[in-house]
């Protein structure tokens, strides 16, 4: 195994993540409203890809009267700010592991347990951009998703 490890989020890391989001939004003038911040907190806290409806259920469980468009709008905002990534193959969202860095996310998605691991990757973006340019393809900054089996599932530990 090449030093690949799944990081589970501790409460201190959640607070740290939110503090970083506050600082980033303050720096760019983006409005991290209480609702957007709450959605981000739920995504960060989950520590794994989470769907919009699951987030909505969690919001309602703690007394928010959120409607689906509200949650989707909040997720759109968080994506634009680079605070979360959408994983298309799982139709789910995951907190960015290094917000504030200009990066093209490379995300490994485990097809068995649904966990995801974002890698800090600098070469992939350049490589994809170069090849896209060569064939005249325009690529948005969507994460590059790679399906596979995580170390825990390989060992039979879900
Ligand atoms: Zn990221
Ligand atoms: Zn797995």
Confidence of residue 95 (pLDDT cuts 50, 70, 90): very high
On the question of pLDDT at 116 being above 60, the answer is yes
Please give the domain boundaries of the chain with CATH numbers for all domains: 11-95 (1.10.10.10), 106-154 (3.30.1490.190)
Q: Which residues surround ligand 2, an ion (CB under 5 A)?
A: 110, 112-113, 150, 153
**pTM as predicted:** 0.84
CA–centroid distance, 99 to ligand 1, in Å, is 6
CA–centroid distance, 140 to ligand 1, in Å, is 14
Ligand nearest to the CA of 148: 2
Per residue, the 3-state secondary structure of the chain, as one string, reads: CCCCCCCCCCHHHHHHHHHHHHHHHHHHCCCCCHHHHHHHHHHHHHCCCECHHHHHHHHHHCCCCCCHHHHHHHHHHHHHCCCEEEEHHHCEEEECCCCCCCCCCEEEEECCCCCEEEECCCHHHHHHHHHHHHCCCCCCCCCEEEEECCHHHHCCCC
**Who wins on pLDDT, 71 or 119?**
71
């Amino acid at each position: 195994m090449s030093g690949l490890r799944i990081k589970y989020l501790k409460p201190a890391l959640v607070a740290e993540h939110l503090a970083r989001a506050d600082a980033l939004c303050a720096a760019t003038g983006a409005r991290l409203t209480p609702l957007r911040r709450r959605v981000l907190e739920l995504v960060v806290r989950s520590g794994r890809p989470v769907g919009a409806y699951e987030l909505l259920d969690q919001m309602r469980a703690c007394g928010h009267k959120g409607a689906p468009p509200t949650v989707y709008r909040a997720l759109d905002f968080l994506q634009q700010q680079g605070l979360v990534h959408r994983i298309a193959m799982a139709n789910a969202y995951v907190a960015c592991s290094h917000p504030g860095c200009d990066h093209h996310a490379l995300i490994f998605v485990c097809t068995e347990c649904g966990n995801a691991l974002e890698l800090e990757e600098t070469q992939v973006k350049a490589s994809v951009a170069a090849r896209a340019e060569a064939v005249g393809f325009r690529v948005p900054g969507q994460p590059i998703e790679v399906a596979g089996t995580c170390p825990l599932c390989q060992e039979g530990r879900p």
